[in-house]
Amino acid sequence: MKRLINWQPNKPLGIFLGLLPFALLLVIYLVSSDLRLEANPNDKLLPSFAQISDGFSRMAFEPSRRTGDYVFWQDTASSLTRLALGVAIAATIGLMIGLLAGSLPLFSSWLSPLLTVVSLIPPLAILPILFIVFGLGELSKVMLIAIGITPFIARDILRRTQEVPSEQLVKAQTLGANTSQILIRVLLPQIMPKLIDAVRLSLGAGWLFLIAAEAVAATDGLGYRIFLVRRYMAMDVILPYVAWITLLAFLIDLSLRQMSQLLFPWHDLNSKQGGKS
């Protein structure tokens, strides 16, 4: 008798099982929305799909009466700019700290304790400090994202650097390579795909810090808009915004994965071989 642990779904069954939870959630929402609207046509908690479509169209395709901008796209551009800047800063600093601390014992003794302590500080707890130090402008929001995910990226890169076989470092030294050449030509090419993986894993936290910063002090952005319209129970606007954020996060993650496969095809090959072994 074949045990359940050995069952592997074929491709059609795998696609069906993957879509099934979404279909069930959709059915549950439709039934719940119909029941609430039937009892109270003015209910705002679970709007119908027609109401959601109207809310999305109003935000995305009708210019604002006050500014003339298309609010939905302006919010998207602002949030993506802040997220990109924050993640870029975090990735750069995290790579430098992780690579140096993971390869040079002198830097490891100096940076590892500090990195451990900093990573334990809840970033949202220092949000008021950031607003006091950097003001209420764009810099404080970008810095919250950068400070929030830099320790995670740095610690992951540090660990990945230490996993590089020491035989490679010894061989490079016997061939005459100095420290900087080992860092740049031996370690860095192997760490770059790990950096993309670390950025992918930290994007969820990056979105969290972005939404939190925009909710506290902003005049545009996806998080700002959600917290603005919640005062009016405008679920027909909030739900499309949440779905849009989810889609953006999925597309960014997919783009990073495609970029990793394109730039470092050997990394995915090694991962698959390591998984089989």
The per-residue pLDDT for range 8-61, each reduced to its tens digit, is 888 899 999 999 999 999 999 999 999 999 998 888 888 998 999 998 898 888
Predicted confidence at residue 116, as pLDDT, reads 84
Phi and psi, residue 26, nearest 5°: -65, -45
Token pair 């996993």 in the structure block, residue:
163
Q: Round to whole Å and give the CA distance between 3 and 260.
A: 36
Predicted confidence at residue 277, as pLDDT, reads 43
Q: Under a CB-based contact definition with an 8 Å cutoff, are residues 63 and 74 in contact?
A: no
The residue extents of the domains of the chain are 73-263
DSSP 185: I
> What are the per-10-residue average pLDDT scores of the chain (277 residues)?
80 91 94 91 87 90 82 93 95 94 87 84 81 82 90 92 92 92 93 94 92 84 90 88 94 94 80 55
CATH 1.10.3720.10 is the classification of domain 73-263: yes
DSSP 66: T
Q: Which amino acid is at 130?
A: L
The reported pTM is 0.86
**Residues in contact with 191: Cβ distance below 8 Å, sequence separation at least 6, in sequence order:** 95, 98, 99, 157, 160, 161, 164
